Chains A and B, each alone.
Chain A
Amino acid sequence: MSHTAHHGAATDELAKIGSGLKKRTELALGDEFLRKAVAFTTNKLKTGRLKAMDDFGDWETWRERGRAIREHVVSHLDYYLGQFADNVAKAGGHVHFCQTGEDAVRTFLDIARKAEAKLVAKGKSMVSEEIHLNERLKEIGVEAVETDLGEYILQLARETPSHLIIPAIHKNKQQIADLFSEEAGETFPAETKPLADYARRRLRNVFLEADIGLTGCNFGIAESGTITLVSNEGNARMVTTIPKIHVVVMGMERLVPTFADVEVMLNLLARSATGQKLTTYTSFITGPRREGDLDGPEELHVLVLDNGRSAQLGDPQFQPVLHCIRCAACLNVCPVYKHVGGHTYGSVYSGPIGAVLTPLLLQDYKEAGTLAYASSLCGACYEACPVKIPLHDMLVQLRHRKVKLKLTPAAERAAFKTYATAFGNVKVYKMASKAAYWLQQPLLRKGAIRRAPGPLAGWTQSRFLPMVPKRSFRERWADLQRELAQKPSQPAGGKKEERS
């Protein structure tokens, strides 16, 4: 499902994060290719992660260490940002603090104009997606080419990533072969090798001709001003060594204090993301090319982006969202994500982390806040998170925020008022339960409700609703007591100490 491929008023609605959610869900659920592809890959990643955790051993200790490092950095972000910026500058790089996405775009465009750049070779960067950089470059006549294979596929398809680390997770080989064939003007079979060979040939020229290499940043190391990049394709290394200018775009929270800390984080990241011990390439970049270096850029710019992040600092409920290391483990275990894929979320960041991060970064609870309902609150996201972000709790708190801002439907507000009255008082509760027994009568068919009206229609569209029995448990209680008075009881065999 592509967002940019559709046009018209219906599309505008479809593109709205909240109002379009239902329609996008329907489209995704009707797309068998997408569902198969996403379920297959997320399952592979999930299994790989579990095995890698197991092989590594002592996972909970590592996880707690990772959480503690991230919490420490985010709680002292001003200090570490200062240290990081000083050290980037000392190494010969330029740091640009950008408050908004627009600031970051303008800063980048200035760099591109000054360099009279025509071509930008891009490594994978979710932040560049967040600020919609590609379109803006196009407007000033600069071509940006994605060099991560998945991102390149999506660029050809004019789509956005649907997964944090496997951006084209929703595409199968045949769809990729079709895209490459159209681009190259020759026909490729749906086989990995010829497709990868074509991408390699095509992208090699981009590396050689690009004026600017653009990358994200997995971790900025404050003690040295080092940019850490992980990749499995080697494209990040090409992008950061061949073009004359290297521009890094990074979220302001993406720091660790020391190299010792980055070791912990890399151990957690690779295992949680792909089940690898380490990604194929890990690059540590400190400053631009130094005298005597054989390669590397002449200029290094680091764009540090706020764009809604600092608004979370000091918020006891949501500050930990900044601990995220973008491993996508929460996407891979999320049963909602598995069925609907990333585009259904209608935002750059998808899955459980996207459902939490998007409304917070955009400060938009009306539209983006609706994503908080795209979860059964099963908690699989929290369980998988390598830095223990309580995403399931945050989803509930976001719903609460929506309620507090009076952004929920009036009928729903009234329903919960009624609920509080009925369930806050046992007399009313008992009357309501009697009423439910009688009200269901016209709807019953063979002891179950097969089609319910009103809000319960959502339930019966896919399942039967059991009937309310005539006598509730509390009405049977007296009989049960009489029954038990006749029966002997025995103390338990191996009675244990009470839990402390």
Chain B
Amino acid sequence: MKVSLFITCLADLMYPEVGESVVRLLHRYGCEVDFPELQTCCGQPAFNSGYQDEAREVARQWIRAFEHSDYVVSPSGSCTGMVHHYYPELFRNEPEWKAKAEALIKKTYEFSQFLVQVLGVTDVGAEFPHKVTYHPSCHAMRLLGVRNEPLQLMEKVKGLKLIDLPNRDECCGFGGTFAVKMADMSEAMVCEKAKNVAETGAEVLVGTDMGCLMNIQGRLNKEGKPVRVMHLAQLLEEGGANR
């Protein structure tokens, strides 16, 4: 099975190790992973700020990068959600691009969604003897409907003790440019999220989106809270490294 990695600009530039974990896991399950060089960003930062012309320009680049892919897999529910939920709207007046976008939507998956729904894997044979709490990302849940997949994958990890995060479904306050533009509102939200994470007593906070994790981690670090923050792919790969 041929799979193209959609790394997302954030993971490409800031969290390359997350991409490495995704690729190693997919490789383990027989996927032939390629990395389309043309990819940059999905266009979401501009789209969410109202700059649709600019978003469209970047989205075209994304489509050019992946239009020949069989499957596209990304470590972000938000960027995948952008493609799924907003590309048809973005190209509503350009039938040719819209058709390309719609064809790609059918082949584009968030990482945990791809593992569970397409590869049929829930047990990656990992062991991770730590207390872990999980923050579900808004766009994975609400734009893609990815709710159970990350939990299914974690349930099968030996030694992993999952501690419920209070108000789990509440946004962490990232929201892309929201975190900068409405910094005070965002701060109130991330402070509450970080407080809830710290109160679980978990050693590790796990999530499926580096935007949210960068936000919560940034707060935890500022407060000097010793919680390790990991993408689900990193946890699954690290826990299975010595198999």
Measured CB to CB, the nearest residue on chain B to A412 is B49
Closest CB-CB distance, A498 to chain B, in whole Å? 7
- Cβ B14 vs Cβ A464 within 8 A: no
A26-B30 in contact (CB<8A): no
CA distance A426 to B57 in the complex (A): 12
| Selected contact of A458 from candidates B19, B31, B38, B180, CB within 8 Å | B180
Closest to B179 in A: A459
Residue numbers in B under 8 Å from A399 (CB-CB): 48-50
A420 touching B188, Cβ below 8 Å: no
Contact A420 B54 (CB under 8 A): yes
Is A199 at the interface (CB under 8 A from chain B)? no
CB distance from B240 to the nearest CB of A (A): 12
A419: interface (CB < 8 Å) = yes
Q: Within residues 193 to 238 of chain B, which ones have a CB less than 8 A from any CB in chain A?
A: 214-215, 217-219, 221-222
Contact pick for B180, options A22, A396, A455, A472, CB 8 Å: A455
CB pair B48 A383 closer than 8 Å: no
Given contact pairs A419-B58, A491-B29, A476 touches B16 in the complex (Cβ within 8 A): yes
A387–B74 alpha-carbon span in the complex (Å) = 32
Within 8 A of B (CB), among A368-402: 373-380, 382-383, 392-393, 396, 398-402
B103 part of interface (Cβ distance < 8 Å): no
**CB < 8 Å neighbour of A463 from B19, B60, B221:** B221
In the complex, A114 has a CB within 8 A of chain B: no
Contact residues on B (Cβ < 8 Å of other chain), bracket:
35 or more
CB neighbours (8 Å) of B50 from chain A are 396, 398-403, 408
Instruction: Say whether A493 faces chain B, with CB atoms less than 8 Å apart.
Output: yes
- Decide yes or no whether A482 CB sits under 8 A from chain B: no
Q: Is A423 an interface residue (CB 8 A)?
A: yes
Residue A9 is within 8 A (CB to CB) of chain B in the complex: no
Nearest chain B CB to A289 CB, angstrom units: 49
Complex-state Cα separation, A55 to B141, whole angstroms: 23
When distances are taken between beta carbons in the complex, the residues of chain B under 8 Å from A378 are: 138, 142, 170-171, 175
Do A396 and B13 contact each other (CB < 8 Å), given the known contacts A424-B40, A426-B37, A476-B20? no
Binding site for A on B (CB under 8 A): 7, 9, 11-14, 16, 19-20, 23-24, 27-31, 33, 35, 37-41, 43, 45-55, 57-58, 60-61, 86, 89, 106, 117-121, 123, 138-139, 141-143, 169-171, 173-176, 178-192, 214-215, 217-219, 221-222
- What are 18 inter-chain pairs, A to B, with CB distance below 8 A? A29-B188, A374-B182, A376-B189, A378-B175, A396-B86, A398-B50, A403-B49, A403-B51, A420-B51, A423-B41, A423-B43, A458-B183, A466-B14, A469-B14, A474-B37, A487-B24, A489-B30, A494-B121
